[in-house]
Amino acid sequence: MSEGTTEVRLGAALFNGDHSRLGEEIARIESAGLDFVHLDVFDGHLVPDLGFPPRTIASLRPLTSLPFEVHLAATDPLRFVPQLADAGVDLVLFHVESTPLLYETIYSVREHGVRVGLVLTLGTPVGLLGPVVTLVNAVLLLARVTGEGARGAEFNPLVVPRVGNARKIVGAFGATVDVQVAGGLRREHVLRLISAGASSLALGGGLYKAPDMAREVEGLRALARGD
């Protein structure tokens, strides 16, 4: 499970919130009892979309003490790391596909005083995690195709066995790694992902569309506990 706890962490992907009221959305996430804020930073090249610039993250940082965990989809992740560190992020998760220099990039993130993790898309072999699993704090498995519109908008069940494979690799190396999942997650996916070995879930549209976010979070926690 995630570091320091036997409970699954639940986070909110801010990109799915109302971008005209980001400060209020941060307050809503905190009051709903979520554990972290998932922030997408895209460069428009690695994936055909744009996310939050570091300056926006910096402006939101004083509004909450919740961890800021960044999904960085960029062809040159090291270009963003100093700015993200200055913005006060707690964890940077960068794509395995974005650089051939995994060790160097991992250590560069650490040298900026930020926790580090890897992102694996649906088509990326989970086995790539093995050589560096003891060096990272987290791995994020994407459950849909980022930036592919309707074709990639839905949760893909192929991620479930991938979570199990990642958890086996973590266990085989005796590592302590937070196995995260994001992308189209809804209530009906929670138990399958937890059973497979997920320790953190970043929720998006399904969470924001709930009539009462706090009640939805409470229900998800009860579901995760098996109540």
Regarding predicted confidence, which is higher, 97 or 28?
28
Using alpha carbons, list the distances in angstroms from residue 120 to 72, 190, 209: 11, 19, 27
pLDDT of residue 26: 97
For the ranges 113-117, 148-152, 185-189, the lowest mean pLDDT is seen at 148-152
101 — pLDDT class (breaks 50, 70, 90):
confident
User: What pLDDT score was predicted for residue 127?
Assistant: 95
9-225 fold: TIM Barrel (3.20.20)
Q: Which of 42, 118, 39 is nearest to 75 (CA)?
A: 42
Give the count of beta carbons closer than 10 Å to the beta carbon of residue 44.
13
- How would residue 152 be classed by pLDDT, with cut points 50, 70 and 90? very low
pTM tops 0.85, yes or no: yes
Task: Report residue 150's pLDDT band, with 50, 70 and 90 as the boundaries.
Answer: very low
Confidence class for position 149, pLDDT limits 50, 70, 90: very low
Q: Cα dihedral sign for 127, 132, 138, 144?
A: negative
Tokens of 86: 């200055």
Greater pLDDT, 119 or 151: 119
- Domain-by-domain residue ranges, the chain? 9-225
Q: Are 89 and 72 in contact (CB under 8 A)?
A: no
Rounded to a whole number of angstroms, the distance between the first and last alpha carbons of the chain is 19
